[in-house]
Amino acid sequence: MDVLKELEEFRKKDIPYTRVLGSMCTTPHPIAIRAHEMFIETNLGDPGIFRGTFELERKLVRLLGEILHNPNACGYVTSGGTEGNIQAIRAFRNLKGIDRPNVIVPKSAHFSFDKVGDLLGVEVRKAELDEEFKVDVSSVESMIDDRTVGIVGIAGTTELGQVDPIKELSKMAIDNDVFLHVDAAFGGLVIPFMDEPMDFDFKLRGVSSITVDPHKMGMATIPAGGLLFREEKFLKALEVRTPYITTKYQWTLTGTRPGTGVASAYAVLRHLGFEGMRKVVRRCLKLTEVVKEEMESLGFETVIEPVMNVVCFKTEHAYEIREELMRRRWVVSAIENPKAIRLVIMPHVTEDIVREFVSEVRDVMSKLSVEP
């Protein structure tokens, strides 16, 4: 059998994005695919060879910095939010140089922070949430001690799309002389394009670093994550010597790394411009409202009023509903606390998809004979 035919067989088993309402990734923008193809062989692990690609990465970092209110931010394009979070905490740990260090993250933090604890030998303390599922700032404060190197706030939580009170966390970071990392892997390319953006980025003096992933709402090809620091000292804290390649130091976690994400992310942001991104975000937010109304008409209630294009519906039967939807090749996620099904309304979702999905949910509920 022709190998391409064989590949096609495997690819056919994947579920197309048109039936996925539970993912923070999406179909890349057409310009991203073109850019990706142009940079297919590039390796940013050796910037002395791929000089242009490296220069482009600096331009993309600057552009992301502009979006996040600090054009002088420095950083690099990561393999995704996990690497961004690991490297931010690694920089904090290295700069502080405290024995048996700890960081404080909200209970709602992405599971990548469990990897942070395991890999870095940093104790990860989990702060309580308030009734709106934002981190409870008094809980964070009560956990800070003289071994705390940093605190973490989330702008767009994985499960609910909630935004922590970053302004308060920023003040707390300054008052306690600890670093503040904002995990805006998802929200970092949503909030800046909302009609009334909340404060979450470098505009706040206490924010030292931000994770912001173009392979989520930036419609770039995977992998394209971003890690930005307020100043260069954080990057310096990550450097290792690289004696035999074209550059002397490397601050990334991975060695060989693709330039495709850099090119595709840059292409989308430049091609659409801020106005184009605003349109994309506005459309996703509007469609989230449509989904909410349609699901409410089936008797569902949201866990919180959606803050961004993530919406969760309470139901005791979340896992059964998800399983039955899966059997019908629809993908949503289910969350545990509170039990709910979670939808992420990414740019690939259309009004037709939403209507088809809701009618499938109606059918599933009647087949399982359950109420929300």
Nearer residue to ligand 0PR within complex by CB, 199 or 362: 199
Candidate residues 24, 124, 334, 340; the one interacting with ligand 0PR per rule CB under 6 A: 24
Residues 248-267 that bind ligand 0PR (CB under 6 A): none
Helix ranges (H only) for 98-177 are 112-120, 137-143, 166-176
Nearer residue to ligand 0PR within complex by CB, 78 or 170: 78
CB of 1 to ligand 0PR, least distance (A): 30
Q: Angle of helix 351-368 relative to helix 260-297, nearest 10 degrees?
A: 50
By the rule CB under 6 A, 25 interacts with ligand 0PR: yes
Q: Are 36 and 260 in contact, with CB atoms under 8 Å apart?
A: yes
DSSP type of residue 17: G
Candidate residues 75, 150, 214, 225; the one interacting with ligand 0PR per rule CB under 6 A: 225
Q: Are 127 and 157 in contact, with CB atoms under 8 Å apart?
A: no
What's the gap between Cα 58 and its chain centre?
Answer: 20
By the rule CB under 6 A, 324 interacts with ligand 0PR: no
CB of 269 to ligand 0PR, least distance (A): 18
The tokens for 206 are 């206490």
By the rule CB under 6 A, 186 interacts with ligand 0PR: yes
Amino acid letter for position 58: R
The tokens for 367 are 């087949």
What is the sign of the dihedral through the CA atoms of 83, 260, 267 and 249? positive
Q: Are 92 and 236 in contact, with CB atoms under 8 Å apart?
A: no
CB of 329 to ligand 0PR, least distance (A): 15
HSE (CB half, 13 Å, CA atoms) of 371? 3
By the rule CB under 6 A, 23 interacts with ligand 0PR: yes
By the rule CB under 6 A, 204 interacts with ligand 0PR: no
By the rule CB under 6 A, 162 interacts with ligand 0PR: no
CB of 143 to ligand 0PR, least distance (A): 20
The tokens for 72 are 């002088």
For residue 258, give the nearest of 104, 76, 18, 81 by alpha carbon. 76
Residues 97-126 that bind ligand 0PR (CB under 6 A): 110, 112
By the rule CB under 6 A, 212 interacts with ligand 0PR: no
CB of 284 to ligand 0PR, least distance (A): 15
Strand pairing category for 207-211 and 310-314: unpaired
First and final CA of the chain: distance in angstroms? 48
Round to whole Å and give the CA distance between 341 and 295. Answer: 11
CB of 31 to ligand 0PR, least distance (A): 21
Candidate residues 158, 162, 170, 252; the one interacting with ligand 0PR per rule CB under 6 A: 158
Nearer residue to ligand 0PR within complex by CB, 253 or 365: 253
Candidate residues 192, 213, 257, 354; the one interacting with ligand 0PR per rule CB under 6 A: 213
CB of 100 to ligand 0PR, least distance (A): 25
**Token pair 């059997």: residue:** 327
- Of 34-42, 48-56, 77-85, 292-300, the segment contacting ligand 0PR by CB under 6 A is 77-85
Q: Read out DSSP for 176-196?
A: HT-EEEEE-TTGGGTGGGSSS
Q: How many residues bind ligand 0PR (CB under 6 A)?
A: 16
Contacting residues toward ligand 0PR, per CB under 6 A: 23-25, 80-82, 85, 110, 112, 154, 158, 183, 185-186, 213, 225
